[in-house]
Amino acid sequence: MGGCEAVADAPFARPYGIPDGYLGAALYLAIFVLLLVPLGHRLSWTALLVIVTLATYANIKGVVDMARLGAFCTYCVFTTAASPVRLWLIWRLR
């Protein structure tokens, strides 16, 4: 067993007993919804930046955990590499 399967079965992949893929999907859905809402209000931008920052942190923490495990999920690593880019793009949008 290796790669994505090993990562998905690892203890760190279920924070709060919830598969981290579900948590990531919820964060990305929230980002998508906030990008569709007119973001003229400062609170909306703040919420968007906070959620994107949390997603970036979670992705980086996941790769650190994968390094400790010695197995990597290609999708997780790609998402982590894209996180700072996404954070920078959203920061520029504001």
Give the total number of structural domains in the chain. Answer: 1
DSSP assignment of 68-94, as one string? HHT---HHHHHHHHHHHHHHHHHHHH-
In-domain check, residue 16: no
Could you tell me if 71 and 64 are in contact, meaning their C-beta atoms sit under 8 angstroms apart?
A: no
pLDDT at residue 1 is higher than 70: no
**49 lies in a domain?**
yes
The answer to the question of residue 57 being in a domain is yes
70 located within any domain: yes
pLDDT of 39 strictly over 70:
no
pLDDT tens, residue by residue, 41-93: 677 788 888 888 888 888 888 889 889 888 888 888 888 888 888 878 877 77
- In the prediction, which pLDDT does 85 show? 86
The answer to whether residues 58 and 20 touch, using CB atoms and an 8 Å cutoff, is: yes
Q: Is residue 25 part of a domain?
A: no
For residue 48, the SS3 value is helix
Domain that residue 56 falls in: 1-8+41-94
Residue 50 within any structural domain of the chain: yes
State the DSSP string of 3-32.
HHHHHHHSGGG-GGGS-HHHHHHHHHHHHH
